[in-house]
Every structure is written in structure tokens, then in C-alpha cells.
């Protein structure tokens, strides 16, 4: 068994990259090389396009990619949540069919969880999946679904038993988004993007082989997806920034960011763009204002604390610990950082922070931060949901009084007619 050390991993990664990286390669060809070698996602299992590397050593590999200018596997977006869920709960068929195409970027994914009548109550989903003949037939509506208009596949949470309790009547599926019966309608956001969609499912079909885990285990699988989403909240700060290097492979990366991955372009802005704060403060002279300096100090303290929380989460993952409440801690911390960053950006730029266009601060990026950061407090579970999880699972405080516990779902009052 290989004893992994920082020096060993660095030497192996550096040697492989120096022998294989070429900016003249086709992007798809490069990602297939990464899949075959395992260096693209080295903490994945070696039999599924990884190298069994401890998560704590992955930053060493990332440093070597940055040193040589090699493009990594994009780790933002729903496809990585799909990969994590399939690795945890999927069948061998799911892994064979989907994982490599996730690594190469051939398939786009979306997450069909939220519904108009459920708000943050994910377990209140009313979209139904009914077995008709030899396949599941799905009817319902989902909303706030990123990339649904581009997706090939969707992670679907649907109700398969109205007589079971709220959490026990749910099942988890992988659904073909390009089939008849799946209609997507993009929703225009106030920041100018249209990343989200409402999705109407009308007699859409799912084969039994595309059911993930056991019937009625949907809540457990969905929790895995959400924990990975919350754990990854800190990784959104830098993704989507167009590379400036020259070469055919960089041109293809830029084209992918502008098209397929366009729904995620504003994610660094929703995270607050802390990376711009010091630069802006020095350029504008705001760094000389003691009140501004004090707020910058507070922000950087929050930012570093959030980073350390994320590292603690990765350490827990490295030790093989199950997804836990540290994901909620990190998600809430990221939300607080984004809010504090928006405040500091406003202090630095003043009324100019409301301007967009070429002559605005950072070509409109600061204005985009101010109208995008509220999403951090909502996506992946609201701040209020995270606080409940932290209070109950970390602080061991009494749970909220529930009025639906033990009742069949069909007998629970809800906002929609099913």
C-alpha cells in the first residue's frame, strides 16, 4: 500500500503533468487523459477515475496544476454534486454510465429539488413518481433549477408513497432532461442572468434502473447531495474567471465558460469577491480611512475563519467521516462573508458601487456583487435552515415542535393541490 506524503504526491503529479500537459491539446482530449490517469480528481477511487489520494493532499496536486498552467477538472456546478451522490449511493451501472462523462464535461446536470409550494421544506415535495407498467411516470413542478435548460440529466427527488410519513415517502431518481414531458422555462434574475428555471414534468418517464438507492430512501440520498453542496460553498469564490493564457485548450475553456457553464459565471460575485477588496481599497485610497480598515479587518477575519472551517470539513472527509453539520457551518460562514464583503465594497466605492458598464468599479463587478450576494443566504438551504441544523446537531438544543411527525403525507396540510 502506497504511503502518501506531500513530497511523494508533489513529485508524482509534477512528473505526470510535465510529461502530458500541452496547451495545444483539445480540451476533451485533455480531460480524458485526466480521467485515465486519475490526476483530475485524485481523491476519487482509483477504479473510478481517481487515485485514492487523501483529500488533505489534493491541494498539493492543485498547486502543481497552477505551477505549470494546466487546466483542472471544473469542480463547480451540479455535475460534481451528481458525481458525489453517485459515488456514495449509485449502482455500478450508474457509475459506468455517468462518472467519466462528468469528468470530461460531456454531460450537463441539474438538481430537481425545490418546489413552488414547499419553500425551504425540501421534505414537503409533492412531485409524484408512480410505477406504471415497467417504468416510473413523473408529474409535478420544480423551481430554482440551475442549468435545467441546458441539462442532459437531472437529480430528481419525488414522492413515491403518499401514505408514508413526510420523509419516508420520497425516492431519488436520475431523469433524462431531453425527453418529451420535461419543459424548462428560464427565470430572469435581477443581476441580468437567467441561470434558474422552473421545470414542468408531465408524464415524464424514468426506468427502474435509474432509481438511486432503495425505494423510500430519497431523503437520505438528498441529504448527501445537500451536504456536498454546502461543503463546497467556499469553492465558488474563484470559479468562472476566464483564463488569460494563450493556446487552443484555453480558447476552448473560455468558450465553455461563456456557453455551457454560463449559469455559474456570477457565482464568484454571489460569494462577495473578497479577492478584490484590498486592491480596491488601495486604488481608491479608502485604505486610509480607519472605519473602512476596521471593516476590512472584520471581513478578513470572517473570511479566514470560513476557510479554516472548510479545511476542517475536508479533513473530516479525508478521515472517512460521514457528511455532517460542518457543511452547514461552512455554508452559513460563506453567507456571512458574502454579506460582509458587500458592505465593504459599498464603503469603498460609495454611490459608484451601483453603476454598471465599462466605467463602473471593476467593469460592473462590484454592482453585480451587491445584487448577487443575497443568493448565498438562500441557495442550498437558507441561513435559517442552517441555523436549525447547527442548533440541533452541533449544540444539541431541543428540536423545534413538529406538527407533521408520524402523519401520512397525504394528511399534512400544504400549499399546493396534488
First and final C-alpha spacing in the chain: 55
DSSP-derived secondary structure letter, 185: E
Task: Provide the 10 A C-beta neighbour count for residue 412.
Answer: 14
- Would you call 288 exposed, middle or buried from its count of C-beta atoms within 10 A (0-12, 13-18, 19+)? exposed
Contact 386, 378 (CB under 8 A): no
Beta-bridge partners for 204: 138
Contacts of 338 (CB under 8 A, 6+ apart): 270, 271, 272, 373, 376, 377
What cell numbers appear for 381 in the block?
Answer: 438551504
What is the H or E stretch that residue 212 is in?
A: strand 211-212
- Identify each DSSP E strand in 220-272 by its residue range: none
Reference 119, options 148, 149, 147, 143; nearest CA is 143
Annotated catalytic residue within 115, 205, 229, 253: 229
Active site residue 400: no
Reference 222, options 109, 76, 330, 114; nearest CA is 114
CA angle 175, 176, 178 (to 5 degrees): 145
Residue 89 C-alpha from the chain's centroid: 18
Reference 362, options 379, 345, 376, 337; nearest CA is 345
Could you give the C-alpha distances from 64 to 10, 19, 246, in angstroms and in order?
7, 13, 19
Distance CA 83, CA 98 (A): 8
CA atoms within 13 A on the CB side of 409: 24
What is the H or E stretch that residue 137 is in?
A: strand 135-142
DSSP-derived secondary structure letter, 238: S
Annotated active-site positions, please? 229
Amino acid at each position: 500500500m502506497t504511503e502518501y506524503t506531500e513530497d511523494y504526491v508533489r513529485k508524482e503529479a509534477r512528473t505526470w503533468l510535465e510529461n502530458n500537459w500541452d496547451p495545444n491539446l483539445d480540451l476533451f482530449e485533455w480531460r480524458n487523459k485526466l480521467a485515465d490517469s486519475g490526476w483530475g480528481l485524485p481523491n476519487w477511487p482509483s477504479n473510478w477515475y481517481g487515485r485514492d489520494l487523501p483529500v488533505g493532499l489534493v491541494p498539493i496536486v492543485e498547486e502543481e496544476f497552477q505551477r505549470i498552467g494546466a487546466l483542472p477538472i471544473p469542480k463547480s456546478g451540479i455535475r460534481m454534486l451528481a458525481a458525489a451522490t453517485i459515488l456514495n449511493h449509485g449502482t455500478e451501472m450508474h457509475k459506468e454510465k455517468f462518472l467519466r462523462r462528468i469528468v470530461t464535461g460531456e454531460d450537463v446536470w441539474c438538481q430537481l429539488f425545490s418546489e413552488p409550494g414547499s419553500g425551504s421544506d425540501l421534505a414537503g415535495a409533492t412531485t409524484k413518481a408512480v410505477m406504471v407498467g415497467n417504468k416510473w411516470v413523473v408529474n409535478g413542478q420544480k423551481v430554482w433549477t440551475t442549468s435545467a435548460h441546458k441539462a442532459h440529466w437531472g437529480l430528481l427527488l419525488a414522492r413515491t408513497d403518499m401514505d408514508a410519513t413526510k420523509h419516508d415517502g420520497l425516492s431519488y431518481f436520475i431523469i433524462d432532461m431531453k425527453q418529451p414531458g420535461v419543459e424548462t422555462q428560464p427565470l430572469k434574475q435581477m443581476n441580468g442572468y437567467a441561470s434558474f428555471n422552473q421545470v414542468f414534468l408531465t408524464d415524464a418517464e424514468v426506468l427502474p434502473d435509474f432509481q438511486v438507492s432503495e425505494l423510500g430512501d430519497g431523503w437520505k440520498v438528498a441529504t448527501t447531495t445537500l451536504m456536498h453542496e454546502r461543503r463546497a460553498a467556499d469553492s465558488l469564490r474563484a470559479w468562472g474567471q476566464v483564463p488569460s493564457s494563450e493556446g487552443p485548450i484555453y480558447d476552448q475553456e473560455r468558450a465553455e465558460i461563456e456557453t455551457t457553464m454560463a449559469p455559474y459565471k456570477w457565482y464568484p460575485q454571489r460569494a462577495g469577491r473578497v479577492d478584490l477588496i484590498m486592491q480596491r481599497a488601495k486604488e481608491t485610497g479608502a485604505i486610509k480611512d480607519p472605519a473602512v480598515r476596521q471593516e476590512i479587518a472584520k471581513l478578513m477575519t470572517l473570511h479566514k475563519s470560513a476557510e479554516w472551517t472548510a479545511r476542517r470539513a475536508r479533513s473530516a472527509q479525508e478521515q472517512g467521516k460521514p457528511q455532517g453539520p460542518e457543511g452547514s457551518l461552512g455554508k452559513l460562514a460563506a453567507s456571512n462573508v458574502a454579506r460582509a464583503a458587500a458592505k465593504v465594497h459599498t464603503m469603498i466605492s460609495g454611490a459608484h458601487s451601483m453603476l454598471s458598464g465599462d466605467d463602473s468599479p471593476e467593469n460592473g463587478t462590484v454592482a453585480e456583487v451587491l445584487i448577487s450576494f443575497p443568493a448565498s443566504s438562500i441557495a442550498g438551504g437558507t441561513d435559517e435552515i442552517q441555523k436549525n441544523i447547527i442548533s440541533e446537531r452541533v449544540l444539541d438544543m431541543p428540536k423545534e415542535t413538529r406538527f407533521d411527525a408520524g402523519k401520512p403525507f397525504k394528511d399534512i396540510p400544504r400549499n399546493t393541490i396534488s
